């Protein structure tokens, strides 16, 4: 990983961690709603053994998915505490400035220019850095 990529990743981390955590919390809420729907289905309907087995398997899958989401939230909360502690306008501002400066330097390197301080190139028939037809 290049340093520039690291800075881009850091900026994304500081700017998006809270939003990503909120999205995961919403996923947990959606999963809870799905589980509730299945339980209400069980409550309302009379089922045969094979139907109970299918519903049971679905509930097991939903609970496993929910457990994974909860784990994700726990991990993201740890990272979010770090991001909140160190994220401030100075850090993100500095990262943005570094990335802008790097971009300008890359452009300067790839598209070099020079302002001639003398007219010495006229002796070669070059005016304003371009060959003249004289």
Taking the C-alpha atoms of residue 99 and residue 45, their distance in angstroms, rounded to an integer, is 60
CA distances to 44, 88, 116 from 55, in Å: 13, 48, 80
Read off the pLDDT band of 1 (50, 70, 90): low
133 band by pLDDT with thresholds 50, 70 and 90 = low
pLDDT score, position 28 = 98
* Ramachandran angles phi, psi of 93, nearest 5°: -65, -45
Least confident of 15-19, 84-88, 93-97: 84-88
pLDDT of 7 > 60? The answer is: yes
Report helix, strand or coil for 61.
helix
Does 131 have pLDDT greater than 70? no
Does residue 129 register a pLDDT over 60? no
């Amino acid at each position: 990983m290049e340093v520039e990529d690291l800075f881009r990743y850091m900026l994304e981390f500081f700017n998006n961690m809270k939003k990503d955590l909120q999205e995961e919390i919403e996923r947990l809420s959606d999963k809870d709603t799905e589980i509730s729907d299945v339980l209400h289905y069980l409550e309302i309907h009379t089922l045969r053994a094979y139907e109970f087995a299918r519903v049971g398997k679905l509930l097991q899958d939903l609970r496993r998915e929910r457990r994974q989401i909860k784990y994700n939230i726990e991990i993201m909360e740890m990272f979010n505490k770090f991001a909140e502690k160190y994220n401030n306008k100075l850090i993100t501002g500095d990262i943005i400035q570094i990335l802008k400066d790097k971009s300008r330097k890359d452009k300067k390197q790839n598209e070099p220019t020079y302002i001639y301080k003398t007219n010495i190139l006229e002796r070669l028939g070059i005016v304003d850095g371009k060959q003249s037809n004289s």
